[in-house]
Structure 1
Amino acid sequence: MAETHLAKAIDIIKKATEEDTAKNYVEALRLYEHGCQYFLHAIKWMRFADETQGERQRDSIRERVRGYLDRAEKIKAYLDEQQTNARKPVKASGNGNSKDSDSDGEDAQTKKLQESVSKAIVVEKPNVSWNDIAGLEGAKTALKEAVIMPIRFPHLFTGLR
């Protein structure tokens, strides 16, 4: 699963850079955000025999995602500036009010997506173990069964359950 997400993320980012180079910034922004989501899914599902090597690779991917998100932020700022400059004459004439409200809705959704992706990136690995959590044995067991076991043993959680 991680390999497919990683391959899909790479393809999407390639398309994003092509659109970016072609100055099709709206499409590039969408593709950068979409590609970063796939990279984060790939990180989540990666498995390694050597955990040290795995952490290095995950950190490398996180760095690339930060770079892509930085570029997406620059594109977003540029597009916002272009929209602001384009809106000034439109507001003076009173035309295009529905267009302005649609783009504001898209801006809010894009900003919300960027914030959620930024929050999903874990910069450092927390040093917390199950023993650090006092009590709540039932909750810890439920979390292990619902989250950790499917990640560690995906072959046991295939098909209809």
Structure 2
Amino acid sequence: MRALAYVLLLLASLSWGQVNYGTPPEGLIPEALEGIPQSLDVMQFPEVNHPVKIKDQYYWKHATAIMSNEAPVKIVEYGAYLYYNDQWNLRRKYPLSDLKKSFGIKDGQLLQGQPYVWADNWRVGDSLFGGWALWYFIAETPDGRKVCGYARIHTTDQLLNP
């Protein structure tokens, strides 16, 4: 009887700990970005991203682009959030040194009106599941103001090559 109680308790705790991916409400952004003017253009292509399977891996192939139309700016932080449990959760802040390798951005400097694209910003994994991510960038203008830009991407579990 005691063993059955432990099993039931274990099953209940597992169900409470499961992740609810859900869909983020339109306009919901991470708290860390609230209050920072959004003046950087960030785009994901495609916005809805279906995976392909290659050998034993799934690939959600997409590109991320950033551009500043307002002024030249210097990126001071960038990274990605994942949406689950009804909120945006920080997945990772990337080292600024990765900007050159990924986007071709030298010394964090975005020239005004110049698009920068990370063509191979792919999600890769051995499990097939969808979800939402939000890529963000925080920058400083020449006069010291903080600005940001962000864009969501929806990854699905619908294979392009079943």
- Bucket of the pairwise TM-score, normalised by the shorter protein: under 0.3
Q: Which has the larger radius of gyration?
A: 1
Q: Name the structure where helix makes up a greater proportion of residues.
A: 1
Q: Name the structure where strand makes up a greater proportion of residues.
A: 2
**Structure possessing the higher relative contact order (Cα contacts under 8 Å, 6 or more residues apart):** 2
